Amino acid sequence: MTSTTAAAVRALALMWRAAPGWSAGFAVLSLVAGVVVPVNAWLLARVLDAVTTRGDGVAAMLLLGAVTAGGAVVGPATRYAEGELARRVGLRAKSTLMRAVTGVTGLELLERPAFLDRLRLAEQAGAGAPQVLAHALFAAVQAIVTAAGLALVLAAVGPWLVLVTAAGCVPAVVAAVAESRDRARMMWQTTPGTRREMFYATLLTDARAATEIRVFGLGGLLNDRMTAELRQLARAQRAVDRRTAVVQAGLAVSGAGLSAAAMLWGAGQAAAGRITVGELSMLVVGVAGLQVAAAGVVRAFGDGHHGALIFAHLDAVLASTAAESVRSLRRSLPAASRSAGVELRDVTFRYAAGHAPVLRGVSFAIPPGAMVALVGTNGAGKSTVVKLLCRLYEATSGTILWNGDDIVGLDARAVRRRIGVLFQDFVRYDLPVADNIGFGDLDRLDDEPAIRRAARLAGVDAVAERLPQGYGTMLSRAFGGTDDADGVQLSGGQWQRVALARSLMRTEAELMILDEPSSGLDADAEAALYQHLRTARGGRSCLLVTHRLGAVRHADAIVVLAGGRVAEQGTHDQLLAAGGEYARLYQMQAGGYGRRADVAAG
- Give the residue from 303, 319, 263 showing the smallest Cα distance to 180: 303
pLDDT digits (tens, 9 = 90+) for 447-473: 999 999 999 888 889 999 999 999 999
Task: Let me know: does 545 contact 381? Beta carbons within 8 Å.
Answer: no
pLDDT at 600: 35
CB atoms inside a 10 Å sphere around CB 557:
20
Per-residue DSSP letter, 432: B
Q: Tell me the pTM.
A: 0.69
CA distance 365 to 345: 8
CA distance 426 to 422: 7
β-pair partners for 365 = 343
Task: Let me know: does 415 contact 407? Beta carbons within 8 Å.
Answer: yes
pLDDT at 496: 87
Domains defined for the chain, CATH in brackets: 3-328 (1.20.1560.10), 337-418+511-534+541-602 (3.40.50.300), 426-508 (3.40.50.300)
Beta strands in 532-598 (DSSP E): 541-545, 557-562, 565-570
- Give the residue from 432, 476, 478, 477 showing the smallest Cα distance to 455: 432
pLDDT at 165: 67
Kind and range of the H or E run holding 7: helix 3-18
Kind and range of the H or E run holding 406: strand 405-406
Distances (CA, A) of 250 to 256, 295, 299: 10, 14, 16
Which residues of the chain register pLDDT less than 50?
Answer: 1, 596-602
For 467-496, the DSSP string reads STTGGG-BS-SSSS-SSGGGB----HHHHH
For 185-254, the DSSP string reads HHHHHHHHHHHHHHHHHHHHH-HHHHHHHHHTT-HHHHHHHHHHHHHHHHHHHHHHHHHHHHHHHHHHHH
- Give the residue from 394, 420, 390 showing the smallest Cα distance to 408: 394
Annotate 367-381 with b (16+ C-beta within 10 A) or e (fewer). ebbbbbbbbbeeebb
CA angle in degrees (0–180, nearest 5) for 401-407-410: 140
pLDDT at 602: 36
pLDDT at 1: 46
First-to-last alpha carbon distance for the chain, in angstroms, is 76
Query: In sequence order, which residues have a C-beta less than 8 Å from that of residue 319 and are 6 or more positions away?
Result: none
Cα 589 to the center of its chain, rounded Å: 45
Amino acid, single-letter form, for residue 33: A
Task: Let me know: does 348 contact 396? Beta carbons within 8 Å.
Answer: yes
For 326-378, the DSSP string reads HHH--BPPPSP-SS--EEEEEEEE-SSTTSPPSEEEEEEEE-TT-EEEEE-ST
CA distance 497 to 462: 11
CA distance 589 to 594: 9
pLDDT at 318: 78
Give the total residue count for the chain.
602
CA distance 352 to 109: 11
Longest dimension (CA), the chain: 124
CA distance 455 to 464: 8
CA distance 542 to 342: 10
Per-residue DSSP letter, 566: E
Sheet holding 397-402, edge to edge: 359-366, 342-349, 397-402, 405-406
CA distance 421 to 484: 33
- Give the residue from 504, 509, 118 showing the smallest Cα distance to 314: 118
